[in-house]
Chain A
Amino acid sequence: DSGVTQTPKHLITATGQRVTLRCSPRSGDLSVYWYQQSLDQGLQFLIHYYNGEERAKGNILERFSAQQFPDLHSELNLSSLELGDSALYFCASSVPLDGEQFFGPGTRLTVL
C-alpha cells in the first residue's frame, strides 16, 4: 500500500459523458501527478500540481482538466469522452519536486 488512494477503482461510461477521478496523496506530499496508461502502453504524463498550483503540463487534452484543492487532494475531470479515452489513470504523489513518486492503484476508465 503506497498510501495514495484513488476513487473510483472502475468507471464505465458512455461517449460524450463527463467523469471526475479523485486522488488523495500521501500525508504530507505536496506534489500530485496524473498519468494515463492505455492498454499495453507506457505512462503518459498529463499534469503535475504542487501545493495547489499547476506545475507542469504534459500531453493533456483540452477536454481534460485538473485541480488540486487546499487539502491537497486532486481531481481529474474528463469531458466529452471518446472511446480512445479508455485507459488506466494513475495519480502519484511525492514530497520534493524530483523525488520518489508513490503511485495509487489507478482508476480504470471504460468508455462505451
Chain B
Amino acid sequence: GQQVMQIPQYQHVQEGEDFTTYCNSSTTLSNIQWYKQRPGGHPVFLIQLVKSGEVKKQKRLTFQFGEAKKNSSLHITATQTTDVGTYFCAGHSQWFNDMRFGAGTRLTVKP
C-alpha cells in the first residue's frame, strides 16, 4: 500500500483562491519531490526538498519540508486556470529503499 499519504484527494477552487496539498510519511524521508501532471499529460518534476525545515518558492508556489522530515506541503497563492492538474509528492526513504508517490491531489480551478 501507499507509504506516502497525500491529502486532499480533490480540491476545487475559484480562480484567485489559495490552494494547499499535504504529504505525510510514516517514516523519515531523505528527500521529497513534487510533480505536476496536467490533464492528458505526464508527471513533470517541480522541485526537490532535502533539508529539515526547508522552504522553497517558485513564483506563486511555496514548498515546505517538515522539521522531522516526515511531511511536506505545496501551497499555491492566487490560483490561476493554468494551475489545473494533479499534484503528486514523492518521498525517498531508506525504509522502503526507493521513491514512493502519494496518491495525488487533483486541482480544478473555476474561472
Assess A42 versus B103: contact at CB under 8 Å? Given A55-B98, A100-B45: yes
Q: Chain A 34-54 against B: per-residue CB contact (8 Å), 1 yes, 0 no? A: 010000111101001000000
What distance in Å separates the Cβ of B41 from its nearest Cβ neighbour in chain A? Answer: 8
A98 proximal to B (CB < 8 A): yes
What distance in Å separates the Cβ of A30 from its nearest Cβ neighbour in chain B? Answer: 14
- How distant is the Cα of A33 from the Cα of B35 in the complex, in angstroms? 15
Assess A43 versus B33: contact at CB under 8 Å? Given A98-B99, A100-B48, A101-B99: no
Closest to A44 in B: B101
Collect the chain A residues with CB atoms within 8 Å of residue B33's CB: 100-101
- How distant is the Cα of A103 from the Cα of B35 in the complex, in angstroms? 10
Contact B43 A42 (CB under 8 A): no
> Which of A2, A33, A42, A90 makes the CB contact (< 8 A) with B102?
A42
What distance in Å separates the Cβ of B92 from its nearest Cβ neighbour in chain A? Answer: 4
Collect the chain A residues with CB atoms within 8 Å of residue B92's CB: 97-98
Q: Write the residues of chain A forming the contact surface with B, with a CB cutoff of 8 angstroms.
A: 2, 33, 35, 40-43, 45, 48, 55-56, 90, 92, 97-106
If over half of B's interface residues share one DSSP class (helix, strand or loop), that class is named, otherwise mixed; here it is: strand
Contact B101 A103 (CB under 8 A): no
> Which of A40, A48, A97, A105 makes the CB contact (< 8 A) with B42?
A105
- How distant is the Cα of A103 from the Cα of B90 in the complex, in angstroms? 13
Q: Chain B 32-62 against A: per-residue CB contact (8 Å), 1 yes, 0 no? A: 0101000000111100100000000000000
- How distant is the Cα of A91 from the Cα of B96 in the complex, in angstroms? 20
Closest to A91 in B: B42
What distance in Å separates the Cβ of B5 from its nearest Cβ neighbour in chain A? Answer: 11
What distance in Å separates the Cβ of B85 from its nearest Cβ neighbour in chain A? Answer: 13
